[in-house]
Amino acid sequence: MDTGIAPTLRRLYFVRFAFALVWAALLFATASSLGPVSVALLVLYPLFDVAAAVIDARTSKAGTLYVNVVISLLAAAGLAVAAASGIPGVLRVWGIWAVVAGAVQLVAGVARRGLGGQWAMILSGGISVLAGASFLFQATKDGASLAALAGYATLGGVFFLVSALRLGTRSRRVAQAG
């Protein structure tokens, strides 16, 4: 993998970290019901993921990342529709999205492991698959809440932060060795 893409990925990962934290705080504040703000936030998250995936795909020349674009666009549309049916419907759509997107992230992380810092992305992809299954289960229970989605986004943001920091460390080592 070309280490020249590491600085761009690092910046992207920092932005994704910051976005995830702000988004999670806003969603957590509205997690008990589906109002206009929470619905807008729910649809915004996968759309932000689309933008990040496009930047990532163009930077790394990894056409397979466009699969993530399609998955996230479908998730945004699905969440907009599911919001009309209530929180369980939203959790189902988010759960399916987390499982599929997590699998894609896992594959991308494994493919990029030579860059360094990708163990966090690999772990995050695996956790996304498990979290997605958890959201699907939560959707079957009474009193379902969106709060778990805020926690999921926060954890994902932390993984992006760790990857950004590790990419910086790896880039400095490569520059010093060269």
pLDDT one digit per residue (tens) for the chain, 178 residues? 456 788 999 999 999 999 999 999 999 999 888 999 999 999 999 999 999 989 988 888 877 778 889 999 999 999 999 999 999 999 999 999 999 989 988 888 888 777 766 777 788 889 999 999 999 999 999 988 999 999 999 998 998 899 899 887 755 555 555 5
In a domain, 175, yes or no: no
Residue 127 neighbours by CB under 8 Å, 6+ apart: 102, 155, 159
Is the Cβ–Cβ distance between 88 and 96 less than 8 Å?
no
Look at residue 66 in the predicted model and tell me its pLDDT. 86
Tokens of 80: 């907009």
Q: Is there a domain that residue 177 lies in?
A: no
The predicted structure's pLDDT at residue 114: 76
In a domain, 178, yes or no: no
Alpha helices in 83-115 (DSSP H): 87-111
**Number of structural domains the chain divides into:** 1
- Rounded CA-CA distance 171/173 in Å is 5
For residue 96, the enclosing domain spans 3-170
